[in-house]
Amino acid sequence: VLITATLGGGRVVLKNREIEHMEIRSELGEPHRCLIRFDRDTSRSENLQDLQGQLSVEIADDSILGGAKAVLFDGVMTGGDQHHQLRGGSRFELHAESPLLLSMARNRRATTFATTFDDAAAKLGLTVKGTRRFKVPANGYRMFGETRLEFSRRLADDAGLFLIERDGQVQLHSEFDDARRRTLTFGRELLALHARSTMVNHRFRGGVYEQATKADFRFRDQHREPVVTGALKLTEAVKAAAPAFAGGGDANLLMSDSRAAFRDQFRDALLRESERTLGTAVAIDGESRDFLLRLGETIQVVDAPGFTLTGATGVFGLTVLTHIWDSSEYRNTFTASPWKNFSNAERPALRTAPGPFLAEALETPPDVLSRGFLFVRMAHMDRTDANRIFARLVAPFAGNQRGLIFVPEPGDELVVDFLQGDPEHAVILGSLWNGKDGLAGIEPKQIVTKAGNVLLFHDDGFIELYTPEGKCMLQMSNKDGKPRVMLHSEGDLLLEAKGQIQLRAASLHEAIGGGVKREIGGDETVTVKGQMTHSSEGMMKHESDTGGSYEGCGSLMTLMPGQARMTSVISVVEGDAMSVVSGATVQLNPPVVPPKIPVIPVPKYLPGALATSHGPRAKPEPTPPFDSDQDPAPSTGA
The yes-or-no verdict on residue 14 having pLDDT over 60 is: yes
What phi and psi values does residue 634 have, to the nearest 5 degrees? Answer: -70, 150
Instruction: Give the mean pLDDT of 363-375.
Output: 92
Strands in 441-562 per DSSP E? 445-448, 454-458, 462-466, 472-477, 484-489, 548-552, 555-560
Please tell me the number of Cα atoms within 13 Å of 155 on its side-chain side: 33
Of the two residues 74 and 215, the one the predictor is more confident about is 74
Round to whole Å and give the CA distance between 362 and 378: 10
CB 285 within 8 A of CB 196: yes
- Letter for the amino acid at 435? G
Give the domains, in start order, of the chain with CATH numbers.
2-97 (2.30.300.10), 175-350 (no CATH), 357-432 (2.40.50.230), 445-489 (no CATH)
**DSSP conformation class of 304:** B
The yes-or-no verdict on residue 397 having pLDDT over 90 is: no
Helix residue ranges per DSSP H, 68-147:
99-104, 117-124
Contacting residues for 163 by C-beta, under 8 A, at least 6 apart:
28, 29, 126, 152, 153, 156, 170, 171, 172
β-pair partners for 475: 464, 486
CB 82 within 8 A of CB 90: yes
Give this prediction's pTM.
Answer: 0.75
The yes-or-no verdict on residue 630 having pLDDT over 80 is: no
Q: 445-500: per-residue pLDDT in tens?
A: 788 887 888 888 887 788 989 888 888 889 898 888 888 888 888 888 888 888 88
What long-range pairs does 385-391 form, CB within 8 A, spacing at least 24? 386/111, 386/112, 387/111, 387/112, 388/112, 388/362, 389/112, 389/140, 389/142, 389/426, 390/139, 390/140, 390/426, 391/359, 391/416, 391/426, 391/427, 391/428
Q: Using pLDDT thresholds of 50, 70 and 90, give the confidence band for residue 629.
A: low
Round to whole Å and give the CA distance between 562 and 566: 14
Round to whole Å and give the CA distance between 267 and 619: 30
Of the two residues 324 and 608, the one the predictor is more confident about is 324
Pairing assessment for the beta strands 297-302 and 177-185 based on DSSP bridges: parallel
Helix residue ranges per DSSP H, 342-395:
366-369
Strands in 252-396 per DSSP E? 252-255, 282-288, 297-302, 314-326, 329-337, 357-361, 373-378, 389-393
Pairing assessment for the beta strands 109-114 and 141-146 based on DSSP bridges: antiparallel
610 closest CA partner among 501, 471, 517, 481: 501
**DSSP conformation class of 339:** B
The yes-or-no verdict on residue 605 having pLDDT over 60 is: no
339 closest CA partner among 290, 282, 382, 390: 282
Round to whole Å and give the CA distance between 621 and 400: 10
Round to whole Å and give the CA distance between 313 and 302: 5
Instruction: Give the mean pLDDT of 162-182.
Output: 95
Of the two residues 441 and 520, the one the predictor is more confident about is 520
Position 3 scores a pLDDT of 93
Helix residue ranges per DSSP H, 46-183:
99-104, 117-124, 148-158
What phi and psi values does residue 154 have, to the nearest 5 degrees? Answer: -65, -40
From residue 457, how far is each of 177, 475, 612 by CA, in Å?
72, 10, 24
CB 299 within 8 A of CB 337: no
Round to whole Å and give the CA distance between 304 and 286: 16
* CA 564 from centroid of its chain's CA atoms: 83
The yes-or-no verdict on residue 618 having pLDDT over 60 is: no
CB 165 within 8 A of CB 136: no
158 closest CA partner among 273, 251, 277: 273
Q: 437-453: per-residue pLDDT in tens?
A: 888 777 777 888 878 88
Q: 409-423: per-residue pLDDT in tens?
A: 999 999 999 888 888
Instruction: Give the mean pLDDT of 370-396.
Output: 85
Position 177 scores a pLDDT of 96
Q: 97-154: per-residue pLDDT in tens?
A: 998 888 887 766 666 556 688 888 888 899 999 899 998 876 677 777 788 898 899 9
